Amino acid sequence: MMTEDQSGTIAFLTDPATYGLTGPVEVIETHISVVVLVGERAYKLKKALKLPYVDFSTAAIREEACRKEVALNGETAPNLYLGVRRITSAADGSLEWDGDGDPVDCVVEMVRFEQENLFDRMAVSGKLTPGLMSAAARMIAVYHAKAPVVAAGGGADNIAAVLDINDAGFATSRVFDRTALASVGEAFRSRLRRHAALLDRRAAAGKVRRCHGDLHLRNLCLLEGEPRLFDCIEFNAQIATIDVLYDLAFLLMDMWHRGFPELANLTMNRYLDETGDAEGFCLLPFFMAIRAAVRAHVTATQAEEPGQDLSRLTAEAKSYFDMIDVLLQDRPARLIAIGGLSGSGKTAVADRLAARVGAPAGARILESDRIRKALYGVSVETRLPVSAYDPEVSRKVYQEMARHSQLILEQGGCVVADAVFDNPANRKLIEGAAAGADFLGVWLDAVPAILLQRVRSRVGGPSDADAGVLEAQLARKPSDISWRHVDASLPLEEVVELICR
């Protein structure tokens, strides 16, 4: 797979004297690159290799890829990428930076940032907060909205090409059982046939774009207090020309695989809140499974390279492969409606519950407060006037919730609907949206003192309800609620566990 000997280049890059230093430099290696960290700079060398999905076989090809990387990533992380540095031969045969001698190789020069600001490191250290992932989801939604539409080809053909690349990647590895590979390959093709018409509709609607292509936690970092994307796919336009939800699916799969299902579900929901892409929701488990397959064969390829930790990487590759079956399992469509007066904890329950419902990355949360803000075209933090809560407006909010629920359920997805639901007509509306899907209505009970204390202690969030709103709800004295009643004064985990049972 390696096409050239880069030992001299690597020795040059890792020699402290190259930078006028005496201490050691730090080296990070991936399956296709070597990154050298020194002082305030990082230098990224592309490995001289040729794989089914990447060709860095010559110095000229690598230089072109370096220049593409700087241009493409400059859009999402403009202060991170500084340019391309060439490594050339000096008169005495040694190597030097940007000399007049023959070109030997080149690197991407970047501003060095603390590795602890990488999102994969932040996840492990517990610093990847819901607020930060919400900001990341909004950033990705904006990035996708601006990404250039690629009109060539259909959506199904686009995904078929990805599956072909995966097949070729698996064929180069000795890690996986051939029978299991054949079974997984057929499962993928079966799902592709099922979703072909939808994939083609999405392509026709401009959902296939020149995306990031490698959107996982390690390619997100915190720069100047904001989440930033970097290290996109520059070496293969086909791999990065994809459905925007397939781009997002890599991040969701990565978080789920690492054991952060709630963050994956939150990220998915905040992204869909921004984009309104209800029709594509049912594709996410399929897309995540394809991403797991990508990671499986890439990791297996890396495991077989000299000097790698074969045992650890083989186990990791197999864990991604095993995840494919979980992601491709059919699950029943289900609608869970969470009702209760202001302060009963509906949103907290919905957020915690959704990751445990349906296929990864969990259920779509439809929250009345967010739908109302979207109808007015304002951010969730914007406080609406009292007129926005007139009965006619509220009727539209619940109708929109029911419409989105029905669309997702018809495609086999799961929904958690979060609203007050004290009006019998609104309860009937959401029950009707379930049609033939499983339905569970939950009413969160709490005494007025607890509700009032919670409403008064709220900080931020989409709800505009205050003590006055709660008092009006209490005055209406909702009764005859046939949904399952759950004690909202219990700890959050107990409430969620009761609902799951």
Are 135 and 168 contained in the same domain?
yes
Within a domain: 208: yes
Are 350 and 492 contained in the same domain?
yes
Are 387 and 480 contained in the same domain?
yes
Are 312 and 383 contained in the same domain?
no
Within a domain: 420: yes
Q: Which residues contact 95 (CB under 8 A, 6 or more apart)?
A: 8, 9, 12, 87, 88, 89, 104
Residue 139: which CATH number? 3.90.1200.10
Within a domain: 1: no
Within a domain: 387: yes
Q: Please confirm whether the linkage preceding 361 is cis (ω < 30° from 0).
A: yes
Are 345 and 318 contained in the same domain?
no
pLDDT averages per 10-residue partition of the chain, 501 residues: 82 91 85 89 92 86 93 88 93 90 92 92 95 96 95 88 90 87 94 96 95 95 92 88 96 97 97 93 97 92 77 91 94 96 93 96 96 92 89 94 95 95 94 94 93 86 82 83 94 95 90
Residue 473: which CATH number? 3.40.50.300
Are 168 and 309 contained in the same domain?
yes
Residue ending a domain, among 302, 328, 354, is 328
Count how many domains the chain has. 3
Are 229 and 357 contained in the same domain?
no
Domain that includes residue 32, residue range: 7-112
Q: 296 is written with which tokens?
A: 């499986």
Are 54 and 169 contained in the same domain?
no
Within a domain: 91: yes
Within a domain: 2: no
> What is the CB neighbour count within 10 angstroms for residue 390?
11
Are 137 and 218 contained in the same domain?
yes
Are 354 and 209 contained in the same domain?
no
d(C-alpha 207, C-alpha 201), whole Å:
9
d(C-alpha 123, C-alpha 117), whole Å:
10
Beta strand segments in 352-434, E: 364-367, 414-418
Are 221 and 259 contained in the same domain?
yes
Are 144 and 217 contained in the same domain?
yes
The pTM of the full predicted model, rounded to 2 decimals, is 0.89
Q: Can you name the residues that pair with 33 across neighbouring β-strands? A: 46
